[in-house]
Structures are given as C-alpha cells and as structure tokens.
Amino acid sequence: MIAHLPLCSIKNPKKVLVIGGGDGGVLREVARHPTVEQIDICEIDAMVVDVSKDFFPEVAIGYQDPRVNLHIGDGVAFLKAVPEGSYDAVIVDSSDPIGPAKELFEKPFFESVAKALRPGGVVCTQAESIWLHMHIIEDIVSNCREIFKGSVNYAWTTVPTYPSGVIGFMLCSTGGPAVDFKHPVNPIDADETAQSTRPLKFYNAEIHSAAFCLPSFAKKVIETKSK
C-alpha cells in the first residue's frame, strides 16, 4: 500500500526515493511500476538490509532490481542534499515517531521532502494508527497542511501484525498539477500481475479508494486540521 497509493496516483512516475524501508519490501513493490527508471533508497541501518537479505529473501528481493541505488545514511541529511525537484515520488517507510525516527515526523523534514519533489510530485509517509495515535496524526496532518500546497489526505489499511491491526499513511502533493489521490490514474493491471510470478495479493484499485474512507471520529479530526 505505501508504494502503490502514491505511485498509482500520478501518471508515469520515473524517479522515486524511499526513506527507510531497508528490508526491501517497498523496493519490491515500487519495482512493479514499469515507468519507474530510478529507485533511490536511503536506509540508516545497514544491518536491516543484511538481516533482510539473510532471513527474508522474499522481501529483500526488491534489491535485485537494477534500478535500485542503496545509500546507507541518515534520511534527513540525504534529503537536504537532494537538488530541488528531483523526484516524482518520495516514500517514507519509517518506524514510530517516539524514538530515533522522531525527526521524520517534524516540519523541517516535510519541508525537505516538499523541496525534493517536482511540482505535482507526491509523498506517502507512514502515519500511525487511528485507534491508538489520533493525537500524533493530528500533528502530522497539521504540519503537512502547512507545508504541502497540493492535496493532503489520510489513508489507512489493515496489517494484522501491527498494534491495533491498522496503519495509516499521509498522502500529500506539492503545488502544481493537482493530484486526486482517491481515484488512481495509473492502475497496476490486475490481469498482468496475475500472470506474473509474484501477483499482487492485497492491493487493487478498489482497495486504493476505500483506504481514504475514514470512520467518523477520525474524519472529524483530520478534516478540521485540513482546512
């Protein structure tokens, strides 16, 4: 979801940056998109990459794609050095905001992301659980609304192994060509992936749109913050 929600929302994504995501799973999913020419990844912890390659080969398989360039380092510093407007999409597959990933939920980081995106480019960041973290989500939405001049949306999906069984995403676009995240313009063809050796098991266009339908308690908070 964290890869397809942004990449199915824009036409012809070419350059993609992944922050975190060292296990390689996001790379594997980004690589399904045939228009993508370059996939940069900045992971802070080299051991995450090694452990994934040793013990989770079905996830780490993402590293085998020739379009992938791995950088080991701090995502915050990496983004600061990126020339303006470099990427069509940035995907932030981070851990939680309490701990070392704290900076990835703060305004200066979102400012760097916005700068690194081309006009009409999109970002998708891990954005916690509506069941557990509405106070954190409120702050993230508020920061994003300030910094991203295009759309700012919250989506969610279920992951049974995560606390409370769900995880959310912030999907934002920079000023420029409008992005309607709720209606994907760049579908991943289901028939095509069904014939591949690794067909998509979860994501489809309906699941994409449904991810933006929020329970009333979350909608109230998020839409208030969005205006």
Closest among 171, 147, 128 to 4, alpha carbons compared: 171
Residues 156-215 binding a second copy (CB under 8 A) are 158-160, 162, 164-166, 190, 199-204, 206-207, 209-210, 213-215
Write down the least CB distance from residue 183 to a second copy, Å: 13
77-122-8 Cα angle (round to 5): 130
* Catalytic residue selected from 93, 96, 180, 191: 93
Q: What is the DSSP string of 56-80?
A: -HHHHGGGGSTTEEEEES-HHHHHH
Q: How far is the CB of 201 from a second copy (least distance, A)?
A: 5
Binding pattern to a second copy, positions 78-117, x when CB under 8 A? ----------------------------------------
Residue 163 CB, nearest approach to a second copy (Å) = 8
**Binding flag, residue 131, a second copy (CB under 8 A):** yes
In three-state secondary structure terms, 119 is strand
Catalytic annotation present for 93: yes
**Of 57, 205, 80, 217, the residue nearest 137 (C-alpha):** 217
Residue 100 vs 165, nearer CB to a second copy: 165
Question: How many Å from the N-terminal Cα to the C-terminal Cα in the chain?
Answer: 26
Shortest distance in whole angstroms from residue 101 CB to a second copy: 22
4 vs 225 by CB, closer to a second copy: 4
φ and ψ at 63, to 5 degrees? -70, -15
Q: Using the structure block, give the residue that is written with the tokens 């760049």.
A: 186
Question: Which CB atom, from 61 or from 200, has the smaller least distance to a second copy?
Answer: 200
The size of the interface with a second copy (CB under 8 A), counted in residues, is: 25
* Distance set, CA 101 to CA 19, 28, 131, 179, 186 (Å): 11, 23, 21, 28, 31
Binding site for a second copy (CB under 8 A): 131, 158-160, 162, 164-166, 190, 199-204, 206-207, 209-210, 213-217, 219
Active site residues: 93
